[in-house]
Each structure stands twice: as C-alpha cells, then as structure tokens.
Amino acid sequence: MQWNTVELVSPQSQAAAKSRQNSPKGANGISLGRLTRVTVDERQRVAYHAVPGMDGDAAQMMGRFPVQVTIDGVFFGEKGADSLQGLRTLYLRGEPLDFHAEAVGEGYSGKVLITELQVFQRASGPDEFSYRCQLVEYTEPGSKSPNEQLAPVESSIQQEAEKSVNNSVEALTSRKI
C-alpha cells in the first residue's frame, strides 16, 4: 500500500481549513506529503492465567492497546524549515490532532497525539530535514474505565452477598436449641 499524504490538523483550525481550498499548513495543521516510510503497530492486551494441571496458560483477550503510527519523511527546499517548524509546533502543543491519511484506494481518519519527534539533518543538505514522528491513537476522556463498567455487576454481587448473609444470620438466630 502506498501512502500519498498524511495531514495533522489542530481541531481549533478545522473551520478555517474547510474555508480554504488547499491543505492546512503552519501552526494549526500540516500536510506531510514526502513520506519515506509509514509503520502501523496494532497490539492486543492479553491476560495469561496459570491453571494447575494444564499445559500452557489460559489466555484472555482484554481489548487492544491504542494504535501507534510511525511516520518517516523529508522536508526540503525553501519551505523545508518552515514545514518542520509547523510540525514541531504541533508536537510541542501536546494536544489531540485530527489525523487524515490517504493511501491508494483507502483513507483513514481519527484523532492522534504526537508522542515523539526526531529530526535528522545531513551536513551536505542544509535545506533538507528528515524526521520521524510517532503518533498514538487518542481516546476522548470520559470513556468508561473498566472499574466504571463493572460497577453495576459489583453492586449486584454486593446486594446478593448481603442478602445471603442476612438470610444466614436470620436462620441461625431463629433456630431453637
């Protein structure tokens, strides 16, 4: 699959970006068009449980980790330093960005955080900046945590346990000896 373009856009600049015909650039967004490598890392969370007498462990799927995307690319020419500065500004803000990627025949969109930015410059290429940018899928705060999701179950178990204890106490105290 060949990646044509990747855009990172600050949510505050979306209205302004929609009013323009060209891709957003500068402090509010950037188009990464000269990509040399894109790596996507997807992993599942797995809990392993040792079971006595069983060969191996029982494995339980626990959801997935956030998707990580590593982008390698090059900025060069008269606007190379400005483009690099735009990417660095987005990185330093540390805020979620809208991520739009276009590959041959497919497009991807989502929210990401830039978690790492590396810049390389060769002495023989003063107007050429290679970079590696690590992006991590962003999930909005407020999503229920596992503890919040299990709260109704825990409440039900607590009520059943209290009822069982009360019935046992009542049975013991009502017995005539």
* Domain chopping of the chain, boundaries: 3-140, 144-177
Q: Is 85 in a helix, a strand, or coil?
A: helix
152 burial (CB, 10 Å; 0-12 / 13-18 / 19+) is exposed
Q: Give dist(CA 165, CA 159) in Å, integer.
A: 10
Check pLDDT > 90 for residue 96: yes
pLDDT in tens, 109-120: 889 999 999 999
Check pLDDT > 70 for residue 1: no
Per-residue confidence (pLDDT) for residue 105, from 0 to 100: 60
The 10 Å CB-count burial string (b at 16+, else e) for 83-110 is: bbebbbebbeeeebbbbbbeeeeeeeeb
Per-residue confidence (pLDDT) for residue 114, from 0 to 100: 95
> Of residues 38 and 28, which shows the higher confidence score?
38
Of 118, 112, 147, the closest CA to residue 133 belongs to 118
Per-residue confidence (pLDDT) for residue 12, from 0 to 100: 64
CATH topology of domain 3-140: Factor Xa Inhibitor (4.10.410)
Q: What's the mean pLDDT when you consider all of the chain?
A: 81
Per-residue confidence (pLDDT) for residue 88, from 0 to 100: 93
Are 27 and 43 in contact, with CB atoms under 8 Å apart? Answer: no
The structure tokens listed for 107 are: 């497009």
pLDDT in tens, 119-144: 998 888 888 999 999 999 998 877 66
> Of residues 122 and 23, which shows the higher confidence score?
122
Q: Give dist(CA 131, CA 121) in Å, integer.
A: 9
Per-residue confidence (pLDDT) for residue 73, from 0 to 100: 92
| Angle in degrees, CA 34, 65, 150, rounded to 5 | 150
